[in-house]
Amino acid sequence: MNNIVMVLPFVESAEVVTWTRECYRHITGVDFVGLEEGKDPLFTSADVEMNVPAMLNRLMLAEKQGYKAGIMGCFGDPGLFAAHQVVAFPVVGPGQSSLLTASMLGERSMIISPCRNHAYATEKLVQSYGYSNRVASIRWMNKIGVEACITRSEEGVRDTADICLKEIAEKDIHVVIFGCIGLNWMADDLHRIIAGAGYDCPVVEPGLTSIAHAKMLLDLKLNQSREMHKL
């Protein structure tokens, strides 16, 4: 067993759970777990929110199993505030970690998501964390969206690159943030295409970023404030 657990919003039998483990198989110190039960499949932000109780239960089980830190495995950070109140170890969210990291890298960021129906929820997430003045654009993939997370198609990369390059040029974007862990596979290709077009623009991938934040908190022996998050 590793020190960190990422709790995904999907049931354990979902293909995306296996896919996530495969994508991050080179990462040490982290276990990726699904849910014993819950809504499946997930298409909207509402679907994800319906699985928050199961995510919290899985996180509490992880604490009993001896894990030292947790990650709510979705860019929307479902149940993150509640997680801080139900377990004693530090819990981070990919969305919050990515926005914080992007704010260190540039003044103007954009978020690119797989599909349009997550755009409003992403906007509210940005507002809740106080980054509205730093996120200049929230966009979504035009064509294949969620399908690209599984198929890893070249079309998905080209579609994403076209959208990002347009926003970088027109809105002076400094940092690109993936609005979904499922886009992690294209991070290197997207950065290469952006650099090839003449823009030195970092790409923040939320899965790796949240893992790095969780490891940092453990290394520094830090935890969420218990003055704010009473147990």
Per-residue pLDDT band at 66 (split at 50, 70, 90): very high
Q: Do 39 and 75 fall into the same domain?
A: yes
Q: What is the pLDDT of residues 150-206, one digit of tens each?
A: 667 788 899 899 999 999 999 999 999 999 998 999 999 999 999 999 999 999 999
194 is written with which tokens?
């952006």
Q: Do 117 and 45 fall into the same domain?
A: no
- Specify if 224 maps to a domain: no
Chain mean pLDDT for the chain: 93
Q: Are 59 and 70 in contact (CB under 8 A)?
A: yes
Q: Do 145 and 214 fall into the same domain?
A: no
The count of structural domains within the chain is 2
User: Residue 46 belongs to a domain with what CATH number?
Assistant: 3.40.50.1860
Q: Do 107 and 127 fall into the same domain?
A: yes
Residue 32 domain boundaries: 4-93+208-219
Q: Are 29 and 3 in contact (CB under 8 A)?
A: yes
Cα R_g (the chain), whole angstroms: 17
- Specify if 226 maps to a domain: no
Query: In angstroms, rounded to a whole number, what is the distance separating the alpha carbons of residues 153 and 50?
Result: 30
Q: What is the pLDDT of residues 191-215, one digit of tens each?
A: 999 999 999 999 999 999 999 999 9
Query: In angstroms, rounded to a whole number, what is the distance separating the alpha carbons of residues 196 and 173?
Result: 16
Q: Do 128 and 75 fall into the same domain?
A: no
User: Residue 133 belongs to a domain with what CATH number?
Assistant: 3.40.50.12500
Mean pLDDT of 59-67: 98
∠ CA 34-6-135 to the nearest 5 degrees?
A: 115
- Specify if 67 maps to a domain: yes
